[in-house]
Chains A and B, each alone.
Chain A
Amino acid sequence: DVQLVESGGDLVQPGGSLRLSCAASGFMLSSFWMAWVRQAPGKGLEWVANINQDGSDKRYVDSVKGRFTISRDNAKNSLYLQMSSLNVDDAAVYYCAKWGETTVTSRYWYFDLWGHGTLVTVSS
């Protein structure tokens, strides 16, 4: 089956660090841009970070720049999110998502595969 499975979510104190992982199966991660998206309790979806196929291009939402690092290990078919200096606003379910692209008529990008998410709780 084609799927993404996140892990690593936990309860962490403000100021702490955490590393999330996303294991891909059924397809080659190395062929696709990947992303992390989060959903805070009672809130909507928020894009967090993107990474290109070889890890040379990384982009972040302003609120996590300098604190979060997205990375990948294509040999392990895995995506990661290293989070540091966590604050209560970072508490959320974090989803791993695969970017799909079509160029049939025009070029469109979209998340065509998502994981079920992993919960990050930030509390003292």
Chain B
Amino acid sequence: DIQMTQSPSSLSASVGDSVTITCRASQSIDSSLNWYQHKPGTAPRLLIYGASNLQSGVPSKFSGSRSGTDFTLTITSLQPEDFATYYCQQASRTPETFGQGTKVEIK
């Protein structure tokens, strides 16, 4: 199985800050990497697919990039509604594994 190592597990930031979350795949997954936002009690929301493609309706403050087996999600100008847990997921091979999640909290 492909392991997805996500870091950090949590971070504190202020409104207006920019943050970066990293995900590393244990083997090549090309660009088959997705990012989701999840708030308690709600349905997870797709942000980025194919490592860097913004899902329709998602604001451009969210962006994704790839360097080999390392992937990053960057969120600029954090707003109160952005405080949530973020997950990466590889969709290259079954089982389609998720990272452990990064909880973004208000400082």
Instruction: Please give the distance in Å from A67's CB to the nearest CB on chain B.
Output: 16
Secondary structure of the B contact surface, majority rule: loop
Contact A45/B38 with A110-B49, A112-B55 known, Cβ cut-off 8 Å: yes
Cross-chain contact B97 with A110 (CB below 8 angstroms):
no
| Binary contact track A21-48/B, C-beta < 8 Å → 1, others 0 | 0000000000000000000000011110
Looking across the interface, which residue of chain A has its beta carbon closest to that of B100? A44
> CB of A102 within 8 A of chain B?
yes
Bound Cα distance from A13 to B49, whole angstroms: 39
> CB of A76 within 8 A of chain B?
no
Which residues, 1 to 58 on B, are CB-close (under 8 Å) to A? 30-32, 34, 36, 38, 41-46, 49-50, 53, 55
| Binary contact track A89-121/B, C-beta < 8 Å → 1, others 0 | 000000101001010011011111011110000
> CB of A50 within 8 A of chain B?
yes
**Chain A hits for B95, CB < 8 A:** 47, 59, 61-62
Q: Which among A44, A59, A100 is the interface contact of B98 at CB below 8 angstroms?
A: A44
Bound Cα distance from A76 to B96, whole angstroms: 27
Bound Cα distance from A57 to B10, whole angstroms: 37
> CB of B94 within 8 A of chain A?
yes
Looking across the interface, which residue of chain B has its beta carbon closest to that of A48? B95
Q: Which among B31, B44, B46, B101 is the interface contact of A95 at CB below 8 angstroms?
A: B44
Cross-chain contact B46 with A47 (CB below 8 angstroms):
no
Bound Cα distance from A110 to B43, whole angstroms: 15
Cross-chain contact B43 with A114 (CB below 8 angstroms):
yes
Bound Cα distance from A9 to B104, whole angstroms: 29
Cross-chain contact B32 with A115 (CB below 8 angstroms):
no
Which residues, 55 to 74 on A, are CB-close (under 8 Å) to B? 59, 61-62
Q: Which among A45, A97, A105, A109 is the interface contact of B101 at CB below 8 angstroms?
A: A45
**Chain A hits for B44, CB < 8 A:** 45, 95, 97, 111, 114
**Chain A hits for B41, CB < 8 A:** 116
- Interface of A with B (CB < 8 Å)? 4, 44-47, 50, 59, 61-62, 95, 97, 100, 102, 105-106, 108-112, 114-117
